[in-house]
Amino acid sequence: MHVSHGKRLNGARKVLGTALAVTALLGAAISAAGPAAADGKAAPKAPAAPAADCSAAYKIEQTLDGGTTWRMCWHYNTYSGLILDKVSYQPKGEAKPIPVLTSARLAQVHVPYDDGEAEFDDVTGTDFGMALQKLKTSECPGGTIKTVKVPDRGDVSGLCVTTRARGHAYRLNNDGSTGGSGKVYTGQGRDLLVYTVNKASWYEYITEWRFSSDGTISSNVGATGSLSPFDFDGGDDRGWPIGKGDQAKAESHSHNVFWRMNFGLDGSPKAKVEQYDSKVTPPTGGGSPTTKTTRTPVTKELAGDRKDMRWWRVVSTAGKNKDGHPRSYEIVPGASQKHAGRPFTKRDVFFTQYKKCEQYASNNPSCGNGVPTSVDKWVDGQTLNHPITWVNIGFHHIARDEDQQPMPVHWQGFSMAPRDVTAMSPLTPGDLAGQNGRPPNVG
């Protein structure tokens, strides 16, 4: 086990009390009362929402602009904290919710300090899940704060469900000169936001999930709270002076955040993974550059690296849109500073064949003795037909004076964008519903 708990957890004990810290150290990732056991009673039947069969307290449902409805269940675990289950998407015009994700969650926050003396797995190695923060009403503007049953801590009002404007969803000046109506079509988008704040010693992590009216899902982790007070001893090449002069150099470190997604597109765990690469060839002499895109089916487990013009998608084997195209979700990583320090941080994405005990990207507690504990080792050539998608987004944090106090939130994350989930944009105004595919000749 490479994780050195040392100074960080000493601090955590002080904050949270010995009992909590010890429970976390023993690795008791107890699922909080889940949907079925929420109150000991049978869950009421969900009305007309087959994709989210959980009791009301564990159900999230939100209709957004354009008539898009997102539905999901949630539960809570003392490692990852918030876990989303049975996420479905129902844009206007779809008779039934389209199942997208069977489950989605944070799978690690790995924090190595630059001097090599401290390295933390904040999700599995601190009190992350236990230290769910009670949210003030003002932290969940326009929304509802749900109560979370945290093992050994009781009820915490810590899950915010709200909506937020995201600006322009689309705009089209359907110019009369090109045969259009001369009308301007435009819409402002809204997102469903679901988030919690978990404390990991001095840091506080905001885990945010965002579901857009256009079918996009994003997750971002925002780090705030305080810099570690025990790490003000960074040298010139490993820290940054914080405070007067250069007496105290806050030690630089990375936050390598991992997510784990179990897709369930169209209700099936079976899916295909594809990698796309585009190669640009500059013109020889006159003419213009050309670009060729190739599709590589990912038939076996993969540890993947990002590259310009490379992307991946998870493709449904169970459903097609009304154009006859298989539904898929594309993985869209955000800005990342990949950390080369560990085999599991060296790669940007992993696609592994589903195995129940493989839950955390590193320091995985649930596979038992002798089984490798990190995601890189699970990529061992198995055929991929029930892929689990892992995304790693890194941030090298060189502190700055502004990080005190509290530290402004720094965000890192990724998106999953719908690709051919619907035959047209789910937000297409009724007037334009006929404009699918090659336009008719215009005079």
CB of 256 to Cu ion, least distance (A): 11
Structure-token match 């506080």, residue found:
204
- Closer residue to Cu ion in complex, CB, 176/229: 229
Structure-token match 């599995």, residue found:
124
CB of 410 to Cu ion, least distance (A): 7
- Closer residue to Cu ion in complex, CB, 116/179: 116
Phi/psi of residue 127, nearest 5 degrees:
-90, 20
CB of 290 to Cu ion, least distance (A): 43
Distance in angstroms (rounded) separating the CA atoms of residues 339 and 100: 30
- Closer residue to Cu ion in complex, CB, 258/351: 258
Handedness of CA 310, 315, 321, 325 (dihedral sign): positive
- Closer residue to Cu ion in complex, CB, 395/414: 395
CB of 103 to Cu ion, least distance (A): 28
- Closer residue to Cu ion in complex, CB, 86/397: 397
Residues between 238 and 267 that touch Cu ion (CB under 5 A): none
Distance in angstroms (rounded) separating the CA atoms of residues 93 and 105: 29
CB of 321 to Cu ion, least distance (A): 42
Helix (H) or strand (E) holding 124, with range, is: helix 122-125
CB of 255 to Cu ion, least distance (A): 6
CB of 205 to Cu ion, least distance (A): 10
Residues between 377 and 436 that touch Cu ion (CB under 5 A): 397
Structure-token match 């915010």, residue found:
160
Distance in angstroms (rounded) separating the CA atoms of residues 203 and 397: 13
- Closer residue to Cu ion in complex, CB, 347/397: 397
How many other β-carbons are positioned within 10 Å of the β-carbon of residue 10? 12
- Closer residue to Cu ion in complex, CB, 170/411: 411
Q: Helix 6-16 vs helix 18-25: angle between axes, to the nearest 10 degrees? A: 140
How many other β-carbons are positioned within 10 Å of the β-carbon of residue 197? 22
Q: Encoding tokens for residue 6?
A: 């040392």
Of 116, 83, 118, 117, give the one whose Cα is nearest residue 102: 83
Q: Could you say whether residue 199 binds Cu ion (CB under 5 A)? A: no
* Per-residue contact string for residues 328-367; x = within reach of Cu ion by CB under 5 A: ----------------------------------------
Which residues does 301 contact at the CB level (< 8 Å), separation at least 6? 350, 351, 352, 353, 378, 379, 380, 381, 382, 384
Distance in angstroms (rounded) separating the CA atoms of residues 88 and 104: 12
Indicate the burial class of 423 (C-beta count within 10 angstroms; 0-12, 13-18, 19 or more): middle
- Closer residue to Cu ion in complex, CB, 208/251: 251
The strand ranges marked E within 290-430 are: 290-298, 302-304, 310-320, 326-333, 349-353, 387-397, 407-419
Distance in angstroms (rounded) separating the CA atoms of residues 51 and 348: 30
Phi/psi of residue 59, nearest 5 degrees:
-115, 140
**Total chain residues near Cu ion (CB under 5 A):** 1
- Closer residue to Cu ion in complex, CB, 52/257: 257
CB of 397 to Cu ion, least distance (A): 3
Residues 11/127, Cβ–Cβ less than 8 Å: no
Q: Encoding tokens for residue 40?
A: 């000991």
Residue nearest to Cu ion (CB): 397
CB of 394 to Cu ion, least distance (A): 11
- Closer residue to Cu ion in complex, CB, 63/224: 224
3-state SS assignment for residue 178: helix
CB of 112 to Cu ion, least distance (A): 11
- Closer residue to Cu ion in complex, CB, 339/397: 397
Distance in angstroms (rounded) separating the CA atoms of residues 169 and 282: 34
CB of 213 to Cu ion, least distance (A): 33
Which parts of this chain interact with Cu ion (CB under 5 A)? 397
